[in-house]
Amino acid sequence: MPERVTCDQVVYQHVKTFKHDFFAATGIYRGPEGLAVLKMGRRTSAWTIPLDWIGQFLVAREVHMYNRLADLPGVPRMLGVVGRNRGFLHDFVPGHPLGRDERVTDTFFDELRAMLDTLQQRGMAYVDLNKRQNVLVGDDRRPYLIDFQISLDLPRSGLSRNAPAQWLLRRFQAADDYHFLKHKRRLRPDLLTDQEKQAGERLGFWIRLHRFVARPLTMLRRRTLKRLARSEDVNVAGSSAK
């Protein structure tokens, strides 16, 4: 990752690299007002095929998601775009990823549920809630959502108001609901309502389909990333395949 970047005429210095994955690299930077997170879209080619456009496309759509949720507590503030849509900066959230056996507060899942409800009311789906690492536990013990790279925004307007788009949106929103209940059932089963217990036990067809399709793709992506790392001689401290 670059040693320094400029965003809205403010210079940020590299502190630490979080990770490199197939589509992006993420790291912590320090600016005049404190720490920020930089996410850079993919720039290198694969097997001589230019893939820079993928990085720019994903950066643009994730910036759009952060801007759409700028007023939502629990979503880091967008600071701006770096370069010509090469990456973007958002506020650093002091805290840590949701742990496998973490004891969260009594209100943690109520707050996370409220965030998901707001997304759904706006015609959005988070999509990637199956990964606990995308839910941060702030030092204030409140939930925060990051990484909107594959989230959906299909409001009932324009082309997205058609029946197929809204049908797809509902399927992904149902998956968000399922993964929310899965995390709550594991970490705070004492707070589950009877309705939530019944809903969480039903593993719908679309969840099974998601697992069937996503697992091979994840393995393929990991193998591809390792192959690229060897060919490009990548050696970044603190990086890991997603």
Alpha carbon 223 to chain centroid, angstroms: 21
Last residue of a domain, one of 92, 121, 137: 92
Residue 206 phi, psi dihedral angles, 5° rounding: -75, -30
Within-domain flag for 74: yes
Q: CA-CA distance, 41 to 57, in Å (whole number)?
A: 8
Place of tokens 């400029």: 6
What was the pLDDT predicted at 114? 97
Could you give the CA distance from residue 204 to residue 82 in angstroms, rounded to a whole number?
41
Structure-token pair, residue 224: 């591809």
Query: In this structure, what CATH number is given to the domain that contains residue 76?
Result: 3.30.200.20
- Extended strands (E) in the chain: 4-7, 10-20, 24-31, 34-41, 78-82, 87-91, 95-97, 124-125, 135-138, 143-145, 152-153
pLDDT along the chain (242 residues), means of 10: 92 91 85 95 64 79 95 96 88 96 96 97 95 95 95 85 90 93 94 84 58 61 56 39 34
The answer to whether residue 231 sits within a structural domain is no
Same domain for 189 and 108: yes
If asked whether residues 184 and 106 sit together in one domain, one would say yes
Q: Kindly report the CA angle at 90 between 84 and 93, in degrees rounded to 5? A: 160
How much is the pLDDT for 49? 63
Instruction: Please answer whether residues 162 and 154 qualify as being in contact, where contact means their C-beta atoms are separated by less than 8 angstroms.
Output: no
Is position 212 within any domain? no
Instruction: Mark whether 157 and 85 lie in a shared domain.
Output: no
Residue 157: domain span: 95-202
- Based on the domain organization, do 109 and 57 belong to the same domain? no
Q: Same domain, yes or no, for 58 and 7? A: yes
Dist CA 39 CA 50 (whole Å):
20
Count the domains in the chain.
2
pTM exceeds 0.85: no
Q: What is the largest CA-CA distance in the chain?
A: 55
pLDDT at residue 161 in the model = 80
